[in-house]
Chain A
């Protein structure tokens, strides 16, 4: 019982994820600044932002549905933290692994997007409603490539659990190289899930102020931003577990450091893409996802099916 509490509250639960979320936000912002030839924020800036937001007045608009408005940040945070509990960090399995947890993680990652939509819609402000609708429209575009690529990797490993995938890829070293196309496609689709440039259409600052988060302030905004940071960690962790499952036979300390290095690498790629492209328009993004990424994802499935048939009779 005490161990379970420790796991949920300290490691790898709330406290660890909070600290990791802040560190990840710092890394992202610092890299973004460096690519733009600037100095960037100091290491304590994300923590300072979080504390500052907690201290501000949180106003609920008069026409908004107060219950939904206030609950959505909590739901987003809860969904993201729960998703992280299934990702293997220091060994091949996580604390709560079971068969089929890839599907659960993907489902839990969809929940935050739904909370952005509901939070924005029930804010009843024009900008928020526009941002909310865009958020959901974007979901339809990037979800299929992302899910298909992850499921393609699971297909090769013949299992629906992250533990099973880790065991399979450790037993067959080098097989994860088959999934490189899927890795590339899901890296770009992850940008859509995290709503970062070039896919930060739901939160386009110059068009709709702040999208779904226009009316949010104070501690609600603090928790939304924290949940976005943790979503970044979870997404990077998921991609690391599914597409980069090497080096998992070593001692737990090494596996943990390797996990951190993989997450840092993925976040570096996300920041790099964020700084070298402009924001796409919604119709252009949907075109791109359905015309290019979805076929590539299906190609990845084909490759994996062929590999399975040829190599593993």
Chain B
């Protein structure tokens, strides 16, 4: 079936830095662009998955922890959106809620993975970005957001 992650020939994970220049945390309304990645640009995306860090409990259940890099937690991800564009800067997937790409069930003690969303198309990584809306009171310390792209 097209668009299903089972057809992926290659799986690439990227880290998107949510940093400000002052080191005082990410800024609401700011676009945080993806790092350019030719492997993703040159292939067709057949699925996208998000990963979260953290320690569980009120922050939500992580699926990928890192002792060096601070990763975004499930409880923070619910404020974030993605915009994916193609090679001619058309919007392919607009304002995708980040938590909809997180496939781990966040209920503590009830661990299982959900199906990966079968987003399908060719994207241009350096034109894609993540953001969280302004005027919400939500703050985010400098951290990384990890996305896995299923490619073929």
Q: Real complex partners, A and B?
A: no
A residues whose Cβ falls under 8 Å from a Cβ of B = none
